[in-house]
Structure 1
Amino acid sequence: MRSKIELDTAIRQDRRTVLLVNTRSRRGRDHFEQVSRHLDEAGFQLLARFGLERPERLPEVLSDALALGPDLLVAGGGDGTISETARHLAHRDVAMGLLPLGTTNNFARTLGVPLDVTGALALLTEGKVADVDLGEAAGRIFTNLVSVGLSAQVAEHVPHRLKRRLGRVAYPLTALTRLPAHRPFDAVVTAGGEVRRVRTHQLNIANGNSHAGNPIARDGSADDRLLMAYALGRHGRRHLLGATLRHLVTGRLRTVEGSPFLAAPEVLVETDPALPLDIDGEVLGRTPVRVRILPNALRVMVAPDFPDR
């Protein structure tokens, strides 16, 4: 593995780059050609350009892209595309450039990547290489969030067309349709030597500071070696709705060390009954689950003032 400075220098000098855009994502199709032209004009040596119409082929395409030996892999799409790309780049000597073209763009928000394409592209030439944390749960590497409860049903049932038309509003609308039939569950959360018992409809374990496109805590980071575990409300459905609204309003004011968080490098979640896991929007595995931080697992292009440990 090269040092961050060595990789940054190689990107600036040689510009060996692969572009991969999920053209089925909300904005991917519209921006693919624009991004490709920009990289050409900026002097990047594009080893390949992949416009992905079928997301199920993403792992295969990523393997092909990495076989070309790029220093930089520019990935455009939603959180699912970014998460899958991060999994493939974890612990590799390749930096990821993020183009947030999806609905909520949680990982981009956590890293301070501009949500407009022009600003995000500027980081590829004006930014720096940083090492940031990823998480791991049920043998799956993730960028942003593991959750248990109502969100797993939402992840399974949110219509793709609704996401394209309404953006991130599609998620709470789908949640409202699923909530009347959803039952609360009992969970035991163990983190940092503390045990917390909760009865709730929703339990989240976050790496970073963004969920559903909104801030979780003002000092949350993907470079602080911490996961944040927290329940949204208690057992009543109205508690979930009220907690979700408070989450939207007060996320910018809360701190990692304050309520309602349990912050630690590793979190054990046990539920009764065993429940499906929503890992970065994909339903994979079941509780009980041990979630842990993978420190400095991903190299990524960020702004020059990003606080990089």
Structure 2
Amino acid sequence: MSELRSKAEHTAAIRELRRAVLVVNTRSRKGRHSYFEALRLLEAEGFRPLRSYAVMDPTRLPQTIKDALDLQPDLLVVGGGDGSLSEAVKHVAHRDVALGVLPLGTTNNFARSLGLPLDLALAVKVFSRGKVADIDLGMAGDRPFANLASFGVSVEVAGRVKPWLKRALGRAAYPLTALALLPGHKPFRAFITVDGRRHELLTHQLNIANGRYHGGWQIAKDISIDNRRLVAYQLGSGKRLRLIAETMVRATSGRWRSLAGGPFVTGGEMLLETEPPIAADVDGEVRLRTPMTIRTIPNGLRVMVPPRFVDT
């Protein structure tokens, strides 16, 4: 962990020195059309990037981000979807560099949780007019994540949703793919232990969120990416029809439910066990399996946010 400047000092350095590096995943939904526009907008805001990278091969993204950080920028601007930003989070965590987010993906959950505008030009203005904030990270096993760890049918959806469908329909591509997969999906039993209390449920879909959004829709009104707590919740139940109903409602309305009245479990650390053991989708990356411990790391990531963002 590198020694961090105060947030005020870091904000001042970004505004005065404008030392930034730009990395854009041009394979993301909007990235291939937005790289040159992002560079133009950065320069219009007074930034002269130390270097800019257009990444056409996503397998090159980890090394590109490492190369970008070797230039020691005050601000690492990353454009792409939640998967690209999740990769950046792993490298920026606990370092004296702020992550600047360009929301160029399908759902842009991380950007929404930070209260960022989804318009590219307005998002770039945050870098010169916003502030540096320290937000919480999630940790699934030894894997840091910004937004969400999910279990169940969504893991299959992540591997099966077609790129052309995401380009054509945007965030609606995910629930539509889920509806196609549900008839052959089997429910699983989950056990979540928080603060000494064990919760049991049978479901097709379980999510544990650090951020406030999933699938581009707000999970609950009173969830925050900066409150030192994770939120576990299920969609539907062990019955396919209930999950189909929940999926359709979210796809058409983006309905949220309050923590006070919804089926949520909250805590700073959760032990998750399942029968049978299943794979986890951690911010779009499927590598881990249950059982696992999931916890928060307070102030684990430095980001640029709008002035109105409440930084605790």
TM value normalised by structure 2: 0.95
Structure 2 Cα separation of the partners of residues 229 and 192 of structure 1: 14
Question: For residue 108 of structure 1, what is the amino acid of its counterpart?
Answer: A
Secondary structure, counterpart of 1:97 in structure 2: strand
Question: For residue 14 of structure 1, what is the amino acid of its counterpart?
Answer: L
Identity within the alignment, %: 53
**Of 242, 247, 268, which aligns to 2:245?**
242
**Is 1:210 aligned with 2:213?**
yes
Structure 1 Cα separation of the partners of residues 134 and 246 of structure 2: 33
**Of 126, 141, 157, which aligns to 1:123?**
126
Question: For residue 228 of structure 2, what is the amino acid of its counterpart?
Answer: R
Using a 3 Å threshold, how does the CA distance of structure 1 residues 32 and 282 change in structure 2: closer, same or farther? same
Q: 8 Å contact 1:28–1:76 — kept in the other structure?
A: yes
TM-fit CA distance, 1:86: 1.1
Question: For residue 100 of structure 1, what is the amino acid of its counterpart?
Answer: P
* Corresponding residue of 2:310: 307
**Is 1:150 aligned with 2:153?**
yes
Structure 1 stretches lacking a partner, 5+ long? none
**Of 22, 26, 31, which aligns to 2:34?**
31
Using a 3 Å threshold, how does the CA distance of structure 1 residues 299 and 69 change in structure 2: closer, same or farther? same
Select between 225-234 and 39-48 the one with higher mean Cα deviation. Answer: 39-48
TM-fit CA distance, 1:13: 1.0
**Of 70, 75, 78, which aligns to 1:67?**
70
* Corresponding residue of 2:143: 140
TM-fit CA distance, 1:20: 0.5
Secondary structure, counterpart of 1:225 in structure 2: coil
Question: How large is the RMSD of aligned CA atoms in angstroms?
Answer: 1.4
Secondary structure, counterpart of 1:20 in structure 2: strand
Secondary structure, counterpart of 2:49 in structure 1: strand
Question: For residue 75 of structure 1, what is the amino acid of its counterpart?
Answer: V
Residue deviations 1:174-197 (CA, integer Å, cap 9, x gap): 111211110011111112333211
Using a 3 Å threshold, how does the CA distance of structure 1 residues 156 and 265 change in structure 2: closer, same or farther? same
TM-fit CA distance, 1:244: 3.0
Structure 2 Cα separation of the partners of residues 253 and 208 of structure 1: 14
Structure 2 Cα separation of the partners of residues 67 and 76 of structure 1: 18
Q: 8 Å contact 1:215–1:248 — kept in the other structure?
A: no
**Of 260, 275, 294, which aligns to 2:297?**
294
TM-fit CA distance, 1:259: 2.1
Q: How many residue pairs get matched? A: 309
TM-fit CA distance, 1:248: 6.0
Structure 2 Cα separation of the partners of residues 248 and 104 of structure 1: 12
Structure 2 Cα separation of the partners of residues 177 and 302 of structure 1: 37
Question: For residue 95 of structure 1, what is the amino acid of its counterpart?
Answer: A
* Corresponding residue of 1:195: 198
TM-fit CA distance, 1:245: 4.1
TM-fit CA distance, 1:208: 1.7
Structure 1 Cα separation of the partners of residues 253 and 201 of structure 2: 21
Residue deviations 1:150-195 (CA, integer Å, cap 9, x gap): 0010111111222122211211121112111100111111123332
Structure 2 Cα separation of the partners of residues 63 and 214 of structure 1: 31
Question: For residue 32 of structure 1, what is the amino acid of its counterpart?
Answer: Y
Residue deviations 1:34-76 (CA, integer Å, cap 9, x gap): 1101212222131110001011111100000000000001110
Which residues in structure 2 correspond to 1:1-309 (within 5 Å)? 1-246=4-249, 254-309=257-312
Structure 2 stretches lacking a partner, 5+ long? none
Question: For residue 79 of structure 1, what is the amino acid of its counterpart?
Answer: D
Structure 2 Cα separation of the partners of residues 188 and 97 of structure 1: 37
Structure 1 Cα separation of the partners of residues 49 and 159 of structure 2: 36
Structure 2 Cα separation of the partners of residues 235 and 43 of structure 1: 54
Using a 3 Å threshold, how does the CA distance of structure 1 residues 126 and 252 change in structure 2: closer, same or farther? farther
Using a 3 Å threshold, how does the CA distance of structure 1 residues 281 and 154 change in structure 2: closer, same or farther? same
Q: 8 Å contact 2:175–2:247 — kept in the other structure?
A: no
